[in-house]
Amino acid sequence: MMHWQNLGPAPLWSKQGARLLLFAAIACAFCVAQRANNGPIVISTDRFQLVIEGKRFFLQSVSAVKTQRIAVPRAWLISPQEEKDEEEQTASSIRFDHHVASFPIGNGEIGILFSSYDMMTEGSMQAGAGRDVFLIYDPAAGKLRPGHVDLGVTKERVFSEGCWHARMVHFIVSDVNKDGYADIGTIKEEIRCPEGQEMWEGDSYEQYPLHWYLFSENGWKREEDDLGWPDSYVEIPLIGIETSPVDFVAQILWRSADPSSWKSPPRYLPTYRKKLIADELGRKSPPFLKPEWRK
């Protein structure tokens, strides 16, 4: 038989130890809630959708048992002045897709990405334009707030005065500064018309260095220092389109989906472009030119 010995009142150090253990447990629980991306960050495209009713926008949860809709102020997607400036444009940059990309930030909130694209189906300009807008969703409070990644038009193409111009901004997500929160990286690329004495060189392609927007309590803020490429990251897939305006124009100019043929090979190759290259190699022929929109 086992006999228990009465040791009297617990010593002071054990009470202090209990307090320390309790504090550690609370801190650990906070860390788990804050550091949702201790594991890999997952980009979802099926948790939310953008509902458009006339000129009004709503974020709607797809996975919730009870449908929840939150109004999105139109000015968060495009400012009144920018919308006025676009009235004479042939392609509207605020034709937003219903699909929404989302990812955990690491503090219980969720990063939301709305993406738009519109293009001319007739005419010689072959213009296209679109935007990417980041918001922050707090599920506990059921509220949205701006993400402050203010990039304006992030994708466009146009044929004017005998040459092409195209632009695309790609997005990756990583905790680049190791603070427990998801940061947003932007990679811009352009096809430009030559100017002045460079006219004889023809159109040129350039991919710009990676820039980071670091998460803060007021949204994502542009980091001035060059933090470079992280050890790991996830890319946000294209929304509503299968290729970018840059891919479309590059295939017209250089008859290839492979950027190694675009005069200035880029460092970053998004997943969809790798597939275009593989398809082209499989056919052993120039790609079949098709517009960016998803069928």
Read off the pTM: 0.82
Residue 48 lies in a domain: yes
Which pLDDT value is given to residue 295? 46
Residue 179 lies in a domain: yes
Residue 162 lies in a domain: yes
Residues sharing a CB contact under 8 Å with residue 126, sequence separation 6 or more, in sequence order: 119, 120, 157, 158, 159
> pLDDT per residue over 112-152, tens digit each?
999 999 998 776 778 999 999 999 999 999 999 999 999 99
Query: Which amino acid, one-letter code, is at 204?
Result: S
* Beta strand ranges found along 41-162 (DSSP E): 48-53, 56-61, 69-72, 101-104, 110-115, 118-119, 128-138, 143-146, 153-160
Which range marks the domain in which residue 127 is found? 40-283
Which pLDDT value is given to residue 109? 98
Residue 8 lies in a domain: no
Residue 31 lies in a domain: no
Which pLDDT value is given to residue 285? 59
Residue 2 lies in a domain: no
Low-confidence residues in the chain, pLDDT < 50:
1-37, 295
Six-digit token string for 171 = 């997005």
Residue 15 lies in a domain: no
- Phi/psi for 88 (5° steps) reads -95, 0
Residue 18 lies in a domain: no
Number of domains in the chain: 1
